[in-house]
Structure 1
Amino acid sequence: MRHNRLDLNLLVALDALLTERSITKAADRLHLSQSATSNALARLREYFDDELLVQVGRRMELTPRAEGLQESVRDILVRVDSTVAVQPEFEPAKSDRTFRLFVSDYTLMVFAPHILALAREARCTATFDFLPQVSNPQRSLERGEVDLMIIPRGFVSPDHPEEVLYEEKFLCAVWRDGALGRGELSFERYRDAGHVVMQPPGQAGESFEAWFARRFGLTRRVVAISHGFAALPAMVVGTDHVATVHARLALKLQPALPIVLHEPPLPINVMEQSMQWHKYKTQDPGLVWLRGLLRRAVQRMDASLA
């Protein structure tokens, strides 16, 4: 198919080249030979009258024209995929689809088991690929590289639909045999303790520490940083440190660890855990089914805690 003399099949090649910035990697992604991919790049350069990719040292960099094209090309391909490639209906018991979801390890521990249990009851044959949340997950959603994000509402993109799934409180985990395991966890004891916190690799933006400092004029003394939430309660064992953890996760791990859980001695707002999907995929029958499954999984999760 051609539009204004451009073979629209070349858009797929252009997207791969601009994303990978390598003819070899783009060829692997496209399942083409390097010579065929080089030929596609030559045709694209001729059409746009621009080099698009230029060699800088050992790497290839995008020209200004290519940078301007990158998001527009990806947007076109996502729109095509969401309107042409999607099946008109979704039958979970007959599907070979892979659902790609960005989740934290907290979500994997407390929520994903209920999703999979309900999928089993529906005899769903689709695959659930739970991917680790990375820096700027909204970009992956925008590019159609993920079907759904399960993420705190404060981190969702303003450009795509989202829905709050449930609210989560926080608890403070301390070692049962330590000084903080005895008596009340007062504001002063919390303030003076060492804190074990989670900071995802490569993530930017305001952390809980920054919020704490702004709200109370104080900064917690961070003694250890984990790349995941699930390890935090175990990391306080044998110490007089504190880990401020999602309540559902803390309660799930408490029976396996010598820890005591305290209510935070400061008013931490509840976290609204949301799901978000690409605006072009709102009517995707598979994602309509998946969103309904997640809503039912919340009910199942809460019933298991009752």
Structure 2
Amino acid sequence: MRFNKLDLNLLVALDALLTERNISRAAEKTHLSQSAMSNALARLRDYFDDALLIQVGRRMEPTPRAEVLRDAVNDVLRRIEGSIAAKPAFVPAESQREFRISVSDFSLSVLIPHVIARAHAEGPRIRFALIPQVQDPPRSLDRAEVDLLVLPQEFCTPDHPAEEVFRERYVCVVWRDSALAQGELTLERYMAAGHVVMVPPGANSASVEAWRLHKLGLERRVEVTSFSFASCMALLPGTDRIATVHSRLARKLAPHFPVVLKESPLPLAEMHQMLQWHRYRTNDPGIEWLRRVFMDSAREMDADAGA
């Protein structure tokens, strides 16, 4: 099919090329040979009268014209996928579909095990690819690299629908033999101490509690950073440092380490953990089923923990 003399099949190739910025990976993603993808790029360059992708070192970088095209092409393809490609029904017991979910290691530790178990009970052949969250997770949703985001409300994009799956508060964790384990953990003691902090992968990234502290004008003395929420508690023994940790994760991991939990003196509101999906996938029966599995799993998670 052609539109204004453009073979519309080339839009799929263009979307893959602009996402992967690599001919071999784009070919693999679209199930084409490398020579066929190279030919598609040549035809696209001829149609748009632009190089589109330029070799810079070992990777290809988009031209300004390609940057303009990227979101428009992706948007068109997602509309088609959401409106036409979705099946009219989703039967978990018969499905072999793979769902790609972008998730932090916090949710991976406390919620996802319940999701996987519940999903397996309903659809034992359904597969999951759990994708680590890096800077700007909503971008991966826009590019159809993931089906679902699990992230705090502050990091959701207004461009796509979202729903709350659970709420979380923070507690402080200290080594049981440190001075901080004795007595009340006041704000003054908290701010005077050194801290172990999770810093998400990606330039200029920050966790929710760090972002909220910055808005309150509070700056901690960060002495250790990690890329994992779950590792922070393991880095406390033998020190007088504090880790500010999600309550569910702290309660789950505390029995495995010589630590004690203290009420946080920080004026932090609860974190609202959300599910977010592409607006063109709202009526996708598979996504509807997965959202229901998440909501049921969140209730099960707290029931098992006695919350």
TM range (shorter): over 0.9
Deviation by residue 1:104-163 (Cα, 9 ceiling, x = unmatched): 111011101111221233244211211111111111101111000010000001100000
Deviation by residue 1:239-266 (Cα, 9 ceiling, x = unmatched): 1110000000000111111111010112
* Residue of structure 1 in register with 2:65 after alignment: 65
What TM-score, normalized to structure 1? 0.93
Cα 1:263–1:58 change in 2 (3 A) is closer
Contact 1:212–1:219 under 8 Å retained in 2 = yes
Taking the aligned partners of 2:4 and 2:121, their CA distance within structure 1 comes to 50
Query: What's the CA shift for 1:60?
Result: 3.5
* Residue of structure 1 in register with 2:152 after alignment: 152
Query: What's the CA shift for 1:59?
Result: 4.6
Superposed CA RMSD = 1.8
Contact 1:195–1:223 under 8 Å retained in 2 = yes
Cα 1:38–1:223 change in 2 (3 A) is same
* Structure 1 segments of 4+ aligned residues over 6 angstroms from their partners: none
Greater shift in the superposed pair: 12-21 or 147-156: 12-21
Paired AA for residue 273 in structure 1: Q
Q: Matches of residues 131-210 of structure 1 in structure 2 within 5 Å?
A: 131-204=131-204, 207=207, 208-209=209-210
* Residue of structure 2 in register with 1:3 after alignment: 3
* Residue of structure 1 in register with 2:77 after alignment: 77
- Percent of residue pairs identical: 54
Cα 1:30–1:206 change in 2 (3 A) is closer
Cα 1:22–1:254 change in 2 (3 A) is closer
* Residue of structure 1 in register with 2:303 after alignment: 303
Deviation by residue 1:65-85 (Cα, 9 ceiling, x = unmatched): 222111111111112222232
Paired AA for residue 199 in structure 1: V
Number of residue pairs the alignment of both structures matches: 305
Contact 1:136–1:203 under 8 Å retained in 2 = no
Greater shift in the superposed pair: 43-52 or 22-31: 22-31
Taking the aligned partners of 2:205 and 2:34, their CA distance within structure 1 comes to 40
Contact 2:103–2:151 under 8 Å retained in 1 = yes
Query: What's the CA shift for 1:209?
Result: 3.8
Paired AA for residue 121 in structure 2: E
Taking the aligned partners of 2:147 and 2:126, their CA distance within structure 1 comes to 13
Paired AA for residue 155 in structure 2: F
Contact 2:168–2:248 under 8 Å retained in 1 = yes
Contact 1:93–1:124 under 8 Å retained in 2 = yes
Taking the aligned partners of 2:193 and 2:27, their CA distance within structure 1 comes to 54
Taking the aligned partners of 2:32 and 2:158, their CA distance within structure 1 comes to 37
